Amino acid sequence: MAAINDKDAILEGLAEIVNEIAGIPAEEVELDKSFTDDLDVDSLSMVEVVVAAEERFEVKIPDDDVKGLRTVGDAADYILNAQLSTQS
């Protein structure tokens, strides 16, 4: 899938990924939701979420950066910034 430079579209994509991996309804995945506390995404599932997001959004998320992705909004911002930095 091509790069998506729109935060709402990234949120939608992340919601689909979390739904597929963790079984959380996509409509419950919101920017302020914590992956671990609100969405019950454990560390193994988080790895799957990151891999799926890297493929879907054509970005690379280094392991060291994954620790900082506590909320869906953190991940959406990271993906958006990574896409914008590769375009400039």
Where residue 48 sits, what CATH number does that domain have?
A: 1.10.1200.10
Q: Is residue 64 situated within a structural domain?
A: yes
Which domain range does residue 52 map to?
Answer: 7-87
Q: Is residue 44 situated within a structural domain?
A: yes
Q: Is residue 2 situated within a structural domain?
A: no
Q: Residue 84: its pLDDT value, please?
A: 86
Overall number of domains in the chain: 1
Mean pLDDT of all residues in 3-14: 85
DSSP 22-65: H---GGG--TT-BTTTTT---HHHHHHHHHHHHHHHT----HHH
Per residue in 37-85, pLDDT (tens digit) is 999 999 999 999 999 999 999 999 999 999 999 999 999 999 999 988 8
